[in-house]
Structure 1
Amino acid sequence: MNKHDLRVLKTKQNIHSALTNLLKKKPLTHIKVTELCKEANINRGTFYFHYQEVGDVFKEFFEEIMLDLKKSYNEPYYHTDFLNGKTLDPKTVRIFHHIKKYEDFYKIVFSQEVSSEYYYMLFDEIRSFGLENEHAVHQGKLNNYLHSYSANAIIGLIIEWYRHDFQESADEMNVHLVNILKL
């Protein structure tokens, strides 16, 4: 079956949504295939056609979200040869639009009830974006500490937004980020 088949995409989207709903209630390690199937309103055969275990669903969903996050993170780089925080246009910042799109997932990641493993997975991904774009961000040699600092700065903004229940719009958060970069 083609992975771009609309039926497959809808089924996987439904399973991802069901997993998100269950993760709001309990840790990934306590979610069983049976309850995921029930939440997704699919049979076990359908589940096992696509996955071997619940962890595979999480891995796939996390990778999908991180791919979208990477595209959002890189958006300002498509509009300039050299990214300068002092001249950055807030309209080119897309990372907060991504967070809003996957708000339920990020509420789980930053919840105090879940393992810090999710935080570190997110941290490692964002940090890797900086390492990939090192040549575009600054001239000269950057070190691992700077990329870690930058990843935590972005996550810090997201956590603060989370603490305010994502009440501000993504556009308002873009302005906050740009204003911080101008300091």
Structure 2
Amino acid sequence: MNKSESKYFNTALRMDEALITLLEQKDLEYITVKELCQQAGVNRSTFYLHYETIADLVNETLERINQRFLSYFPKQEEEVLGNMDSRKREELVLVTREYLLPYLRFIRDNKKIYRAAFRNPGGMQAYARYGELKQHILGPILERFAIPTVHRPYYIAYYVEGIIAIIKEWLRQDCADDVKMIADIIETCVRPKEKQ
């Protein structure tokens, strides 16, 4: 990376962080370019050198978050989804410790991003991000269990919103509780264990 690429990259990172910081304080539609520049310590001309609009910055920030998020997971998506049709029904569980722990670690390590996303779900596309999950994982699992198509949106809403509610509460506690404890709670809610 040459000096100008490095400078460009550092400015972009500062702009991403400025956006996230401001999103914790106010809704996206009330954030101005002037505020973003002040927060990032750059001139307006620098902002417009990188982005045409605030929406461009939001898209770039979300892309960086996605890249960071995927780096937390040990297996590739194909390994999880590849044999969905051939798996036994009892194995069709989305929330496994193998994937839940990295997800929770990412949230803990990126609390600021998640607080901003939940405060501004539209601007940060928080709910749209679950589209892939719904389409590629939850949908096929519900199909395998012969859940009627008209019922599936309700099952999915219950499942996703329940996990989000636990995450929001954990964030309110500043992620003070251990990741493994939160994973246990989510697993128990999703798949209650029988008492022996």
Same fold (TM over 0.5): yes
C-alpha contact (below 8 Å) 2:20/2:113 kept by paired residues: yes
Match of 2:136 in 1: 132
Task: Map Cα deviations across residues 74-96 of structure 1 (whole Å, 9 max, x no partner).
Answer: 959646954444993x2442211
Structure 1 position 170 matched with structure 2 position 176:
no
Match of 1:146 in 2: 155
Match of 2:40 in 1: 40
Superposition deviation, residue 134 in structure 1: 4.2
Match for 1:177: what amino acid?
A: I
Summarize the Cα distance change of 1:79–1:63 in structure 2 as closer, same or farther, 3 Å threshold: closer
Summarize the Cα distance change of 1:33–1:154 in structure 2 as closer, same or farther, 3 Å threshold: same
Return the alpha-carbon distance in structure 2 between the equivalents of residues 176 and 131 of structure 1. 25
Structure 1 position 28 matched with structure 2 position 28:
yes
After TM superposition, the structure 1 stretch with the greater mean CA deviation from structure 2, 124-133 or 64-73, is 64-73
Superposition deviation, residue 28 in structure 1: 2.0
Residue 117 of structure 1 aligns to a residue in which SS? Answer: coil
Return the alpha-carbon distance in structure 2 between the equivalents of residues 22 and 87 of structure 1. 32
Superposition deviation, residue 148 in structure 1: 2.4
Query: Identity percentage over the alignment?
Result: 22
Match for 1:11: what amino acid?
A: T
Question: Which sections of structure 1, spanning at least 5 residues, go unmatched?
Answer: none
C-alpha contact (below 8 Å) 1:20/1:105 kept by paired residues: yes
Larger-Rg structure:
2
Return the alpha-carbon distance in structure 2 between the equivalents of residues 130 and 71 of structure 1. 21
Return the alpha-carbon distance in structure 2 between the equivalents of residues 56 and 86 of structure 1. 33
Match for 1:39: what amino acid?
A: Q
Match of 2:127 in 1: 123
Match of 2:54 in 1: 54
